[in-house]
Amino acid sequence: QQQVKQSPQSLIVQKGGISIINCAYENTAFDYFPWYQQFPGKGPALLIAIRPDVSEKKEGRFTISFNKSAKQFSLHIMDSQPGDSATYFCAATFSSGSARQLTFGSGTQLTVLP
């Protein structure tokens, strides 16, 4: 099963609040879990990523929490800012034969109110 399930579909947060986006997967062959950020009219861009042997990774205000046993991972945005308003995609990669494939969640549209 190549699916990555993402929730919520949309999220509204006040400036300074914490934004939390959750993802779950079934395929234990997934071996890398990136998050992509997409602004309107632009293509997605890599934000932060984590390997499954690490439980948490932090880069500035962005933190990934990873629970391997539950097959779940989440993105936390601390001190959310209006400039963080974008669509966020969780993703997972795995090897398929000689190729690596990248599969995405359905996306979360984040709005941070000033």
Partner 1 sequence: NAGVTQTPKFRILKIGQSMTLQCAQDMNHNYMYWYRQDPGMGLKLIYYSVGAGITDKGEVPNGYNVSRSTTEDFPLRLELAAPSQTSVYFCASSYSTGQPNTEAFFGQGTRLTVV
The CA-based angle 72-3-36, given to 5 degrees, is: 70
Contacts of 88 (CB under 8 A, 6+ apart): 21, 35, 36, 37, 38, 47, 75, 107, 108, 110
Burial bucket for residue 90 (CB in 10 Å: 0-12, 13-18, 19+): buried
Judged by beta carbon, residue 12 or residue 78, the one nearer partner 1 is: 12
In angstroms, give the least distance from the CB of 16 to partner 1.
28
User: Which among 114, 62, 112 is positioned nearest to 87, based on CA atoms?
Assistant: 112
* Residue ranges binding partner 1 (CB under 8 A): 2, 6, 9, 31-32, 34, 36, 41-46, 49, 51, 89, 93, 95, 98-107
Judged by beta carbon, residue 41 or residue 83, the one nearer partner 1 is: 41
In angstroms, give the least distance from the CB of 111 to partner 1.
16
In angstroms, give the least distance from the CB of 107 to partner 1.
5
In angstroms, give the least distance from the CB of 57 to partner 1.
12
Judged by beta carbon, residue 15 or residue 51, the one nearer partner 1 is: 51
